[in-house]
Amino acid sequence: MNKFMFFCTTLLLSSVVNAQLFDFSSLIQEELLDEQISDIDDNNTFTEAFNEIDTNNNKQLEEYELLKYQKSGIEQGKDATHKILDSDNDGNVSKEEFIRFYKKRAGKNTSITDLNRTFSDADTDKNNNLSKDELNDYRHKNLEIQNHEIFGLMDTNQDGVISEDEFDYFMNIAEGVLGNTQMF
């Protein structure tokens, strides 16, 4: 299963529903092409994904399980994400590369000021470049907030857990947003 794709899918749906800063759909499509992911052929894929996330095997997903799974997705996609952003292949993502990439993909409400602020937050050593570690650390730092929002979206009956039916429903929506591409 592709944990990074699940992470990107949940970010995409979170941004669609909540009108977040960035539209990650283009990033996800590039990741899909880079990894040459094939078409989905049956819904059993979602059951397998659910079972992998459900580490305590109680047939329900708790928020901590989703968070743990998404953290592993960040690690899995660390190199691919950095490679996409690092257009000159010098090993770092400059502020210009970051802004150019996201300005093309960001919504109408995203300003250069917002992009500069996001970049500055991620650039912990203030050298105007993002290393793989800085990008990864920034994504980890923001994951808990995003995870809570995503969990709330997936927990449609608001009982504090995600059933397999809720998970399937969410992933079918994701499949509709992404088209017929395999996420796992």
Q: Is residue 183, in this structure, part of any structural domain at all?
A: no
Task: Give the tens place of pLDDT for each residue, 114-172.
Answer: 889 889 999 999 999 999 889 888 888 878 778 888 888 889 899 999 999 998 888 87
With respect to residue 123, please indicate whether it lies within any of the assigned structural domains.
yes
pLDDT at 8: 54
pLDDT tens, position by position, 32-62: 334 433 333 344 667 888 888 899 999 999 9
Q: How many domains does the chain have?
A: 1
pLDDT at 183: 43
The answer to whether residue 184 sits within a structural domain is no
Amino acid letter at 135?
L
Q: In whole angstroms, what is the distance from residue 26 CA to residue 141 CA?
A: 22
125: domain CATH number is 1.10.238.10
pLDDT at 67 over 50: yes
More confident residue, 180 or 85: 85
CB-side neighbour CA atoms (13 Å) of 28: 28
Q: Using CB atoms within 10 A of its CB, is residue 138 exposed (0-12), middle (13-18) or buried (19+)?
A: middle
**Which domain covers residue 66, as residue numbers?**
3-178
Task: Tell me what the pLDDT averaged over the chain comes to.
Answer: 74
More confident: 55 or 81? 55
Inside any domain, residue 72: yes
**Residue written as tokens 């998970």?**
167
| Domain membership flag for residue 13 | yes
